[in-house]
Structure 1
Amino acid sequence: MLTAGLVVVVVLALAFDFTNGFHDAANAIATAVSTRALTLRAALALAAVMNLVGALLGTGVAVTIAKGIIDTPAGDDALHVVTAALVGAITWNLITWYFGLPSSSSHALVGGLVGAALASATTVHWAGVLEKVVIPMVVSPVVGLLLGYALMTVIMWAFRNANAHRAGRLMRRAQVFSAASLALGHGLQDAQKSMGVIVLALVVTMNQDGYSVPFWVIGACALALSAGTYAGGLRIMRTLGRRIFHLTPPHGFAAELSASSVLYLTAFVFHAPISTTHVITSAVMGVGATTRRSAVRWSVAGDIAKGWVLTLPASAIVAAGAYGVVALL
């Protein structure tokens, strides 16, 4: 049965998806724009389209979010928990966007779910949080960094005797495809998180049995993420595209291809909700380190890492406070 509380959750989930899009649009296009492989508007349009396509390709991560993080019994209080979780995630997204920090929307949502669950005495699946969130959160950036370093090393060796101008032009063209690949992976990963929240709300309000994702949920989340992506996120783009390392087309290609490989692996094989932000940022560090370690602005990377560490507890605290307000209302 359709209730006002369920409508609020769906609207908030789509709003989170929209903020996820403009918050994380920089992940897919910052490198391509900074190397001038694509103009800003062309890159945003490409990212929006590929986010839309990626969101239609799978639901494994959505099921993990819906049933693998918290255990919410049916009833109005369950909707309060989900509503508070979304408020916490959206709030943290807006704060980090304002300050230009490439934090993780994925982990903001997980933190929101955990914080609201703890405030309401709802069961948290700590084993699921550890296996599906914390371990991938630590491992995926390391893999992204190592892949970026390895792939950039291969590219440098392969083009060691090539004409620099021709090689740069070839890499700039190749970067269009690597940026599209990364945007596809972003859509595959991030749209599914909002899908999972809506499915959770449908289950606890007894509007459906089981955790399958209805097509209208897939379509709505895909469109919301795509629209948010096209709205763009220039503040974060400057941090990711310029402040960590001065990227060239080969560096951008290697970073994007490395990051997208990690996104596909975790979405299709492990169904783990990892952070696009973490993976592409670490890949940029990896490709930058092939030039020389001092070429990477590690102080900026350190500031970003602080944002990563703060995301889970900060969004959890905001969500816990939001639960108190929502429960009273």
Structure 2
Amino acid sequence: MEASLLVVLVVTTALIFDFTNGFHDTANAMASSIATGALKPRTAVTLSAVLNLVGAFLSVEVAKTISGGLVDDARITPAVVFGGLVGAIVWNLVTWFVGLPSSSSHALFGGLIGATWVTAGTDAVHFAKVVDKILVPAVAAPLIAGLVAAVGSFLTYRLIRRARADVVGRGFRAGQVVSASLVSLAHGTNDAQKTMGIITLTLIAAGSLPSHAAPPTWVVVSAALAIALGTYVGGWRIIRTLGKGLTSIEAPQGFASDASAATVILASSHLGFPLSTTHVCSGSIVGGGVGRRAPDVNWGVAGRMVLAWLVTLPAAAVVGAVAGRLSASGDVGTALVAAMGVAVGAWIYRASRRDPIRPDDMARRDDGAQPAERVEPPVEGRDSTPVAV
């Protein structure tokens, strides 16, 4: 396969990953505001998509970390990057299908590290940088966000304990629109840059850019558009988990969670840390639940979520290693990896259509009641009792 054609394939695959990142991580910004009724589901994802697009243009520090810090760009090829991307996309689709808010960022890092490790050797991976820029923030960020959200939620409930519930609800739902918007802006700033960094790394590996180059303008624009489009599609399965599965979110608690998450993500983007927005937002939602007057957290769901976090990087690394080895073997291997990636994606999509999650399933009326059940009409020749679905 010609080098230029392979680069086009890798860039296209990177943008596909960016798209999956968008719909996989929409829940990070909008799950709590949808759960409290601050925003209607479709309004929420549309607003999030626009702000993801805007946020992608605010910084390139995270992109520089990925393109020039995690692996030795002189010892990898576009085929290796392609294998890593396929590993990340497959893991993203699997965790989206089961509704687990795992980290798209760690899936990407794991796929890239695994593919680089098996094709270029252990010393081609800058493990000191991996620990400093990925593993330490992965542990610290959700704990910090959770602590800030817990304290913020506790203080908020103390301040409003004598206020009228309806006034408090309206006020904090309005505040949630602002705080959720900040999370969306922060997500675009941090996560779109990861795709920018991967594409830039590919161009450096192909000799199209000098080492440690910043992302070209067309890379920034295309990555911004891809993540915004994915966000607009809406990852309803994961939104349901974060909005309803972890804790029953109230407006003051949701405001505190979103505000703490946005603060942590924006600070990390400024410092060049490729943070997992999933870890931060999930940690802040748990922290907000802990900080309520009557703590309310489903620790079983939280435990499964943390388990997914622990497994994500090594699992994506294994898939990336296999895909990277095949891709690096030649054109046949690259074609085989592409075919397997398409087959897995198609199977997951078809399986998801058997049990679809719709925007209406996320809705909550202003009075706090859940949406009414849909009732199927009786079918002639069968039991005439209506069935709720």
Pairing 1:121-160 to 2, within 5 Å after superposition = 121-122=120-121, 123-160=124-161
Deviates more, 1:2-11 or 1:38-47: 2-11
Partners of 1:202 and 1:118 in 2: how far apart?
Answer: 20
Q: What percentage of residue pairs aligned between the two structures are identical?
A: 44
Tell whether the 8 Å contact from 2:152 to 2:291 is kept in structure 1 after alignment: no
Q: Which residue of 1 aligns with 2:378?
A: none
Pairing 1:306-317 to 2, within 5 Å after superposition = 306-317=307-318
Q: Which residue of 1 aligns with 2:169?
A: 168
Say if 2:116 is the partner of 1:117.
yes
Partners of 2:101 and 2:33 in 1: how far apart?
Answer: 17
Q: Which residue of 2 aligns with 1:260?
A: 262
Pairing 1:147-226 to 2, within 5 Å after superposition = 147-209=148-210, 210-226=212-228
Partners of 1:214 and 1:89 in 2: how far apart?
Answer: 23
Structure 2 vs 1, CA of residues 293 and 302 (structure 1 numbering), >3 Å: closer, same or farther?
farther
Q: 1:235 aligns with which of 227, 234, 237?
A: 237
Partners of 1:2 and 1:192 in 2: how far apart?
Answer: 24
Residues 228-264 of structure 1: CA deviation (Å, up to 9, x unaligned): 0000001001100001000011111111111010001
Q: Which residue of 2 aligns with 1:51?
A: 52
Partners of 2:199 and 2:293 in 1: how far apart?
Answer: 46
Post-superposition shift, 1:2?
Answer: 7.0
Say if 2:48 is the partner of 1:38.
no
Deviates more, 1:140-149 or 1:206-215: 206-215
Partners of 2:277 and 2:74 in 1: how far apart?
Answer: 31
Unaligned runs of 5+ in 1: none
1:241 maps to amino acid: G
Partners of 2:196 and 2:154 in 1: how far apart?
Answer: 38
SS in 2 for 1:295: coil
Post-superposition shift, 1:73?
Answer: 1.8
Post-superposition shift, 1:294?
Answer: 5.5
Post-superposition shift, 1:161?
Answer: 2.2
Structure with greater Cα Rg: 2
Partners of 1:319 and 1:293 in 2: how far apart?
Answer: 44
Q: 2:249 aligns with which of 238, 247, 260?
A: 247
* RMSD, matched Cα: 1.3
Partners of 1:325 and 1:315 in 2: how far apart?
Answer: 15
Unaligned runs of 5+ in 2: 333-389
SS in 2 for 1:120: helix
Partners of 1:264 and 1:216 in 2: how far apart?
Answer: 23
SS in 2 for 1:101: coil
Post-superposition shift, 1:121?
Answer: 2.5
Tell whether the 8 Å contact from 2:80 to 2:325 is kept in structure 1 after alignment: no
Residues 148-177 of structure 1: CA deviation (Å, up to 9, x unaligned): 011112211221222111011000111110
1:97 maps to amino acid: W
Q: Which residue of 2 aligns with 1:83?
A: 82
Q: Which residue of 2 aligns with 1:72?
A: 73
Structure 2 vs 1, CA of residues 310 and 293 (structure 1 numbering), >3 Å: closer, same or farther?
farther
Partners of 2:277 and 2:78 in 1: how far apart?
Answer: 28
Q: Which residue of 1 aligns with 2:95?
A: 96
Partners of 2:209 and 2:77 in 1: how far apart?
Answer: 15
Tell whether the 8 Å contact from 2:73 to 2:204 is kept in structure 1 after alignment: no
Q: Which residue of 1 aligns with 2:12?
A: 11
Post-superposition shift, 1:293?
Answer: 7.0
**4+ residue runs of structure 1 moved beyond 6 angstroms?**
none
SS in 2 for 1:38: coil
Partners of 1:247 and 1:162 in 2: how far apart?
Answer: 19
Post-superposition shift, 1:323?
Answer: 1.2
TM-score (normalised: structure 2): 0.82
Partners of 2:206 and 2:294 in 1: how far apart?
Answer: 53
2:148 maps to amino acid: L
Q: Which has the higher contact order (CA 8 A, sep 6+)?
A: 1
